[in-house]
């Protein structure tokens, strides 16, 4: 493994916050093909760089990371043919030793996509960054995006909203807030998100506007169960009016959903 290739790839993924984990062999006991200090970069799919000794344990680590996509660091322990050990994952290897592996998350899994970079979108982006979220602004007005202060986002994309799957990484960690300019494109955006994977999906708007949008989607074949996944009108009811008050109400709802599992 070339160290330059390893760390260049690590930097490349971190610059765009693409899902990436690092697995490091921290200790071994007895006979083991893995040695302390061996490491591997594991992407969500496809890219692997490094070496964990090969064989069943390496494949098990890769599968664990990709299947579970952990959002915080953890340690795994493997029995390599030394019998069942408490707290260890058994393998069919015959080495007779054991190994401990530290899994480190090298990206920020808390992604917030804000679709609509107006006053409320920028206020929410700034507050979300302060709360530790990785913020991606999306808007169909390039001048609005270019004039947005960097304190409001980590990345931004100019889009006509016709193919958001090319921008949004839909997965169980994605949080999406819809607040397009004048609500003109809210329905168009919502219907692209409804049947995809996400952790949180919210849409701004009055009760009447939300009901009208939902009625239109029901007539197009979406179900009440689909629409029940949407937080709309978005935000905790605190009587908010200004952009930052609205941002507080939305961010509070996102945090409550994540920390307490409250729908």
Question: DSSP readout, 15-61?
Answer: HTT--EEEEEEEEEESS-S--TT-EEEEESSS-EEE-S-SHHHHHHH
* Of the candidates 184, 228, 225, 226, the residue with the CA atom closest to the CA atom of residue 204: 184
Pure H helices in the chain: 3-15, 55-68, 119-130, 142-146, 186-193, 207-219, 224-227, 243-260
Can you give the pLDDT at residue 93?
Answer: 65
Residue 38 has pLDDT above 60, yes or no: yes
Q: What domains does the chain contain, in order, with CATH numbers?
A: 3-105 (no CATH), 111-260 (3.40.50.720)
Can you give the pLDDT at residue 97?
Answer: 80
Q: How far is CA 40 from CA 3, 17, 20, 53, 59, in A?
A: 11, 18, 10, 10, 12
The predicted-structure confidence for 166-206, as pLDDT tens digits, reads as follows 999 998 889 999 999 988 899 999 999 999 999 999 999 99
More confident site: 213 or 263: 213
Can you give the pLDDT at residue 88?
Answer: 78
* Of the candidates 109, 105, 126, 108, the residue with the CA atom closest to the CA atom of residue 117: 126
Can you give the pLDDT at residue 193?
Answer: 96
The predicted-structure confidence for 41-97, as pLDDT tens digits, reads as follows 999 888 999 999 888 889 999 999 999 999 899 999 988 776 666 677 877 766 668
Percent of the chain clearing pLDDT 90 (strictly above): 78
* Of the candidates 114, 86, 88, 111, the residue with the CA atom closest to the CA atom of residue 99: 88
Give the strand order in the sheet containing 174-178. Answer: 155-158, 134-139, 111-115, 174-178, 200-203
What crossing angle do the helices spanning 119-130 and 243-260 adopt, rounded to 10°? 50
Q: How far is CA 254 from CA 87, 173, 246, 249, in A?
A: 34, 12, 13, 9
């Amino acid at each position: 493994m070339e160290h330059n290739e390893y760390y260049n790839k690590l930097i490349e993924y971190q610059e765009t916050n693409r899902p990436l984990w690092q697995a490091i062999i921290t200790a071994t006991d007895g006979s083991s093909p893995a040695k302390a200090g061996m490491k591997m970069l594991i992407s969500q799919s496809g890219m692997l760089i490094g070496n964990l000794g090969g064989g069943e344990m390496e494949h098990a680590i890769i599968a664990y990371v990709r299947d579970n996509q952990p959002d915080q660091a953890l340690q795994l322990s493997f029995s390599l043919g030394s019998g069942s050990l408490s707290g260890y994952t058994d393998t069919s290897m015959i080495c007779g030793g054991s190994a401990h592996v530290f899994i480190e998350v090298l990206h920020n899994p808390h992604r917030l996509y804000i679709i609509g970079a107006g006053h409320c979108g920028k206020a929410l982006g700034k507050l979300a960054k302060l709360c530790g979220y990785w913020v991606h602004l999306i808007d169909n007005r390039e001048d609005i995006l270019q004039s947005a202060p960097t304190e409001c986002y980590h990345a931004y994309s100019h889009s006509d909203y016709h193919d958001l799957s090319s921008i949004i990484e839909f997965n169980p960690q994605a949080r999406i807030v819809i607040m397009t300019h004048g609500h003109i494109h809210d329905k168009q955006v919502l219907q692209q998100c409804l049947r995809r994977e996400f952790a949180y999906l919210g849409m701004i708007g009055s009760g009447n506007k939300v009901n009208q949008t939902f009625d239109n989607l029901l007539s197009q074949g979406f179900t009440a169960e689909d629409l029940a996944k949407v937080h709309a009108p978005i935000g905790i009811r605190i009587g908010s009016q200004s952009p930052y008050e609205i941002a507080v109400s939305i961010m509070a709802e996102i945090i409550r959903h994540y920390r307490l599992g409250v729908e």
